[in-house]
Amino acid sequence: MDILDMDARAQSAALAAGDFSAAELMEATLARIAEVNGRVNAVVALRDADSLMAEARAADAAPRKGWLHGIPMAVKDLANVAGLVTTRGSPLFERAVAPKDDPIVSRLRAAGAVIIGKTNTPEFGLGSHTFNPVHGATTNPYDARLSAGGSSGGAAAALAARMLSVADGSDMMGSLRNPAGWNNVYGMRPTWGTVPGEPDRELFLHQLSTLGPMARSPADLSALLDTMTGADPKQPHGQSPADTLPGLFDAPGRLRIGWLGDWGGALPFDAGILPASEVALRRLAGLGHDVTPVAPPFSADAMWDAWITLRSFSVATGLADIYLNPETREALKEAAQWEVGRGLAMDAMTVHRASEVRSDWFRRAADLFDDIDVLVLPSAQVWPFDVTQTYPTEVAGQVMDTYHRWMQVVVPASLIGLPVVNIPAGFGENGLPLGLQLIGARGSDGLLLRLAQQWHAATEWPQARPPVI
């Protein structure tokens, strides 16, 4: 097997055994990036090759730090890596060199990772399509005419194209799920609060976005999650390390799996997505699980209204200074201006009422998980679309009233901080990949990963159907 086809844990074991060196792995990685990144545009801000080779040789000469020792990683371009630019996809920050690592990057380095650059993201991470005026658009390795999804589109495409073996990402509205599904890889939104967030932001009010892992196998997903988790004394919501890897290969038992489909007709889907999802569900049932349809447990409209209120409130807090400055406002893309304008116009009681709806849905979901172990939804409502399109304006003939309405299917989990694993679900008749969201109760991250591992052992979709670039 080519060393770039190996997952990160296999690379790690081979490095520890001396089967190849970190320098050889770095050389192969840089050659692969040179070969395919011009077509995919997933890795950005790539560091100088001589410096990276020197760092890889230093890793070969040093005691092993951890399971990522000597493994190349690129960090999503919303997180700070000391000495690299953090553009956030905005021309306002294209020269903003980070003075220090974010906590998540420090943890990757402590485990031995060699940070080679960044992965592309939409401007400020807004939208499930990875394009921005600084680095351009990331294309789908399965069809370069199409979107790779977002906002962790660069990470997902780099994984699929074998430029990386494991990657970090973040997820507010499907950003670890939609691109994973569209690139035939795994992505995980952990239980909210499990992975420390941005320490420099307000620490208590906003509970929508989280960091998380992406990989070509659940084992790598689990290993990276365990590396990323753990309390940060400078943040109030941290938890103990997830420690999911030791039990990953244990059978999950016979699970009660609830299929939510189109949420009782509330969610439109492109033709072919639901039938292809149901094919995957039958295969999941064949692994010994009870898969049954579940009636809509909560109003989709109520969730959506609460979601866009809380999301705009959150986005506005981060971008208000740019928006309120006449010299910088026009540098924000239209979607960002819309979000911030909405957020700034809200009063406190509007936000409170949205959070009351969120609380009602949380209580209802908790009751639902008394009878169901895992809920399932598709990871996106549309197939990968034209890379030159800003966003889908209609789905199945239904007009989309916002730039992100076409991703409403991810809101039920995001709104209340539930853990979700995207599993590759196969391919449609159009030859494009799709994913399924495995959604669990808070704290069920380990269970979801065990189910994903069982699925992976039976399917190995990332390995069975790699892209041809």
Residue-wise pLDDT tens digits, 36-74: 999 999 999 999 999 999 999 999 999 999 999 999 999
Mean pLDDT of 217-230: 97
**Residues with catalytic roles:** 76, 151, 175
Whether pLDDT at 264 is above 80: yes
Whether pLDDT at 222 is above 80: yes
SS3 of 425-459: the string is EEECCCCCEEEEEEECCCCCHHHHHHHHHHHHHHH
Q: How far apart are CA 179 and CA 469, in angstroms?
A: 18
- Going by their DSSP bridges, the two strands 210-215 and 186-189 should be labelled as antiparallel
Query: Does residue 179 contact residue 167 with C-beta atoms inside 8 Å?
Result: no
pLDDT in tens, 143-178: 999 999 999 999 999 999 999 999 999 999 999 999
Which amino acid does the sequence have at 59?
A
Whether pLDDT at 239 is above 80: no
Domain count, the chain: 1
CA 239, 244, 250, 255 torsion: positive or negative?
Answer: positive
- Could you tell me the pLDDT band of residue 417, with boundaries at 50, 70 and 90? very high
Give the global pTM. Answer: 0.98
Which long-range contacts does 249-252 make (Cβ < 8 Å, 24+ apart)?
Answer: 249/450, 249/453, 250/450, 251/450, 251/454, 252/447, 252/450, 252/451, 252/454
Whether pLDDT at 203 is above 90: no
**Residue 63: Cβ-neighbour burial (10 angstroms; 0-12, 13-18, 19+):** exposed
- Could you tell me the pLDDT band of residue 233, with boundaries at 50, 70 and 90? confident
Instruction: Provide the strand spans (E) within 77-165.
Output: 114-119, 131-132, 136-137, 139-140, 143-147
Domain assignment present for 343: no
Question: For the chain, what percent of residues have pLDDT higher than 70?
Answer: 100
Question: For the chain, what percent of residues have pLDDT higher than 90?
Answer: 95
Among residues 223, 200, 144, 128, the alpha carbon closest in space to that of 435 is found at 128
Mean pLDDT of 282-310: 98
**Residue 330, Cβ neighbours under 10 Å: how many?**
8
Query: Does residue 417 contact residue 307 with C-beta atoms inside 8 Å?
Result: no
CA 170, 176, 178, 179 torsion: positive or negative?
Answer: positive
**CATH number where 228 lies:** 3.90.1300.10
Whether pLDDT at 1 is above 80: no
Mean pLDDT score across all residues of the chain: 97
Among residues 86, 75, 98, 83, the alpha carbon closest in space to that of 134 is found at 86
> CA 406, 410, 411 angle in degrees (round to 5)?
95
Query: Does residue 340 contact residue 328 with C-beta atoms inside 8 Å?
Result: no
| Domain residue limits at 208 | 8-300+353-464
Whether pLDDT at 284 is above 90: yes
- Could you tell me the pLDDT band of residue 242, with boundaries at 50, 70 and 90? confident
Query: Does residue 100 contact residue 199 with C-beta atoms inside 8 Å?
Result: no
Domain assignment present for 336: no
Domain assignment present for 338: no
Q: How far apart are CA 357 and CA 302, in angstroms?
A: 7
- What pLDDT score was predicted for residue 241? 82
- DSSP-assigned states of every residue in 320-349: HHHHH-TTTGGGS-HHHHHHHHHHHH--HH
